[in-house]
Each structure stands twice: as C-alpha cells, then as structure tokens.
Amino acid sequence: MSHIPPFRGAIITGASRGLGAAFARALAADGTRVLLVGRHKPALDIVVEQIRAAGGEAHAFAADIADKHQTHALAAAAEAQVGPVDLLIHNASTLGPLPLRPLVELSCEDLAAVLETNLIGPFRLTKVIAGSMALRGRGTVLHISSDAAVNAYPGWGAYGVSKAAQDHLARSFAADFGETNVRFLSVDPGEMDTRMHDDAMPGLSDADRAALGRPDEVARRILASLREAS
C-alpha cells in the first residue's frame, strides 16, 4: 500500500533556517509538499535544494510576513505549488531590536513592528488559508510559541507580549472555527541552537550551547505529537 502523508500540502513561514527549515525537511521526508516562506530567496533556495536532493517536493516563496500586500500572492503560490494546504505553520518570528532591552527603551514603532511579524502577519495568513480548510473539513494551524508567552523575562517584553497574544489568537480562532475540524495549536519548542537564540543570548559557552535543543529533533518531535493528537 502506498504511503499517505498525514499532511498533503504545508506552508511553513520562517523556513530558511532554524526550526522552520527543520519542519520543512521533516515534512517533505514524510511525503508532504512544502512551501517555504522567508524574506531572503537565496537562503530559502538552499533548503529547497536540500529537500529536492533527498527526494522531497519543496518550493520557495520570498515574502515578509509583516507585509500585508504579500499575503494573497503567498496563498496563491501555495495553492498552485503544493495544492490544498492542510498544515500552516506560523514559525517566522522576530525578537525586536537587539540587543534585547527593557520595554521603556522601546519605541511604540518597535513594539508595533514586533506585533506585525509575530501576531498580525499570522492573523492575516490564517484568514486567507483557514476558510478553505474548513470547507474541506481538514486542517491544522500551528503557532510556534515560547515560554516568554507565559513568563516575563527582563528585556523580552515585546517578544513575550507578541507570543502571549499569538497563543490567544490560536485559542480564539479555535473557538470561532468550532466543529469545522480545523485545529489551532500553539507549541513552545523550548530553547534551541539557532540564530535567534544566538541573537538573544550571544556568547554562550560550548557546554551551554550543547545543552540546547537541535531544531531537526524538535521539529520531528512536534510533528509526531501532531500526528498522535489527530
């Protein structure tokens, strides 16, 4: 019997590196057609080529998730290249200005920019993708969250506020979509050895870095729990 992937078509934002690239590799290895989204096409193309070399189907779409004018083009590219999307992973994220600093040292524009990428962008994309999931009676929208959504850490305010709001966005969409069989989930991946972690906490010792999660392992674990939950 031929293998039927749990997800046929997936959009993964922030898929040029780190956890997003790991999701794309793991899904494609399982037979899912994946659309990788990020702002820099050359970086996306490297991951796409890796996936294709391993026998998977992947496509790159360069877009800034914070730019509302790119949302519909992204959805159209997904429909054309990976077919009906039954998994949308909101993984792209920004920390805001670096180094991290107290909220009082941020401008309103700094906070708004973090919310545009981490909250409003995912909101817009869900709006254009989840309706057709509901019509087909099948779909998963996964938000990548953080423990900063529930714990307040000095300097992490803008990011933490955006992640807390994103968690509630997922709960609110779930309430609105009711019995449509579209799932909205938030998952905290834990600390991982990625550029974002390095940006937030530069200069870790080798021992501290070695204790961080590996994105490929984290992605496989999250996808396995999604399959179990379904």
Stretch that binds ligand NAP, among 17-25, 73-81, 106-114, 134-142 (CB under 6 A): 17-25
Residue 169 binds to ligand NAP (criterion: CB under 6 A): no
Q: Spell out the alpha helix ranges (H) of the chain.
A: 18-29, 41-53, 71-82, 108-115, 121-136, 157-177, 195-200, 206-210, 215-229
Residue 94 binds to ligand NAP (criterion: CB under 6 A): yes
Whether 163 is a known active-site residue: answer yes
Residues 174-203 touching ligand NAP, rule: CB under 6 A, are 189, 191-192, 194-197
Whether 153 is a known active-site residue: answer no
C-beta closer to ligand NAP: residue 39 or 221: 39
Length of the chain: 230
| Binding characters for ligand NAP, 111-150, by CB under 6 A (x = yes) | ------x--------------------------x-x----
Active-site position among 16, 93, 146, 159: 159
Residue 48 binds to ligand NAP (criterion: CB under 6 A): no
Whether 145 is a known active-site residue: answer yes
Query: Cα–Cα distance between 131 and 146 in angstroms, integer?
Result: 26
Q: Which DSSP symbol is given to 13?
A: E
Look up residue 41 and give its two tokens: 């096409």
Q: Residue 131's CB: how many other CB atoms inside 10 A?
A: 14
Residue 45 binds to ligand NAP (criterion: CB under 6 A): no
Enumerate residues 6+ apart whose C-beta is below 8 A from 149: 160, 163, 164, 166, 167, 186, 188
The catalytic residues are 145, 159, 163
